[in-house]
Structure 1
Amino acid sequence: MKLYTSPIGPSPRSAKILFSLKDIMPEIIEVDILRAENRQTEFLSINPAGQLPFVVTEEGITIAELSAIAEYLDEIKPDPSLSGLTATDRAVTRMRMRQCDFLIFAPMVLGYRHGEGRRFFDGRIILHDEVSAPAKLIAQEGLAWLDPLLEKQDYICGDMLTYVDVIFYTTLAFFDKQGQSIDPSLKNIAGLMARLDTHDVLGKGA
């Protein structure tokens, strides 16, 4: 299996952690996103979406998106599970992943790309001056929505670490340094981040 990735950004860090948690050692292929290597024809012939990270299976199938990668790793090596042990567990994991994607991660990314990251993304995507501020507010609203759901549990999906926690941790840690810090009043999210900071794998960034 090949893992196409980059040393830059939260998603490549998530992928590295996921593989480490599963104790799977892929062939690493680093892509130079600073030189827009991921936008070149040769790269797009492998992954038409142009994003990182992604894996290419032994059968030559491209799998992108962190949740899809995590679930694929669970399929080929079930223990330890990062998706959940039962059908209900896995459904909750997918639900929370979708909610975090829509309510938190996507607006955080928009806020960054159209704000602090504008210089990097200029010429790569369409940018609008008015997008960044409201997108960041939407992300904060999403975090405020999630916070009370964590009141009596250790992780986002309950008492078991899942790939949602991995993606959540790396995403918030990255954007905390990019003008989107966590509201200190969100005590449960702060507690979750503190727990993940001390995790043997996550806290060390794999």
Structure 2
Amino acid sequence: MKLYTYYRSTSSYRVRIALALKGLSVQAVPINLLKGQQRQPDYLALNPQGRVPMLELDSGERLLQSPAIIEYLEECYPTPTLLVGDPLQRARARGVAALIGCDVHPLHNVSVLNRLREGGASDTQVAEWISHWISQGLAAVESMIGDQGYCLGALPGLADVYLIPQVYAAERFNVSLAAYPRIARVAALAAQHPAFIQAHPSRQVDTP
């Protein structure tokens, strides 16, 4: 399999974590978003949306959007599972994932920030926008996760796959995590876990 990825993309990061947790090897194909490689005709021919991540299977089929890719991996490679527990616990994990993937991450996506700047927003206003939405999202996640272990248990799962890249984004945008001790606990555990270490942006081939 090939993963078209960008080292700093949080959606790519979460797919890398899922792959690493499942012990799956892929060939990383770096797509440099800052250089506009996602808009080049050869990439658009593969992915008409012109974004990352994209997972190309050994069959040549290509999967877009991190939730769909992660669901595919969970269905085809169910061990170890990313969705542990009973239906209620699995629903809680999906809730954390959706909150981050649908309500937080899109609002600090580079295309959104560029649109704000095109509309006349200053750097200070853009920074305030980012801080507001990330802080609001993390406050909600803080109330949704447990007091021990990873987000929802002793082992990492879907919620952690989404949370850790969002923590990375918060730190990159200088959003304080001081108000979120549960999230800080999960981040500290993940920092020692081989799969999260392997997937970290600093370990990617296209890291500047």
TM-score range, shorter chain: 0.7 to 0.9
Return 75-84 or 154-163, whichever deviates more: 154-163
Where do 1:93-108 residues align within 5 Å?
93-108=93-108
CA distance in 1, matches of 2:186, 2:195: 15
1:171 pairs, out of 166, 169, 178, with: 166
- Determine the C-alpha separation between the residues in 2 that align with 1:56 and 1:126: 34
Write the deviation string for residues 85-109 of structure 1: whole angstroms up to 9, x where unpaired.
6544443332221122344323344
Unaligned runs of 5+ in 2: 204-208
Q: 1:134 to 1:37 in 2, by over 3 A?
A: closer
Cα 1:137–1:52 shift into 2, 3 Å: same
Determine helix, strand or coil for the equivalent of 1:45. helix
Q: How high is the sequence identity, in percent, across the aligned residues?
A: 22
Query: 1:194 and 2:203 equivalent?
Result: no
Separation (CA, whole Å) in 1 of partners of 2:185 and 2:75: 31
Distance 1:106 1:34, change over 3 A: closer
Of structures 1 and 2, the one with the larger relative CO (CA 8 A, separation 6+) is 2
State the secondary structure of the residue aligned to 1:55.
strand
Amino acid at match of 1:198: Q
Q: Which residue of 1 aligns with 2:133?
A: 138
1:144 and 1:186 in contact (8 A); partners too:
yes
Cα distance in structure 1, aligned partners of 2:30 and 2:140: 36
Hey, which of these two has a bigger chunk of helix by percent?
Answer: 2
Partners in 1 of 2:193 and 2:14 — Cα distance?
A: 14
Instruction: Quickly say closer, same or farther: Cα 1:88–1:160, change in 2 above 3 A.
Output: farther
Cα displacement string for residues 67-124 of structure 1 (whole angstroms, at most 9, x for unaligned residues): 22122112121111123365444433322211223443233447x963xxxxxx58xx
**When the two structures are aligned, how many residues end up with a matched partner?**
196
Q: CA RMSD in A?
A: 2.8
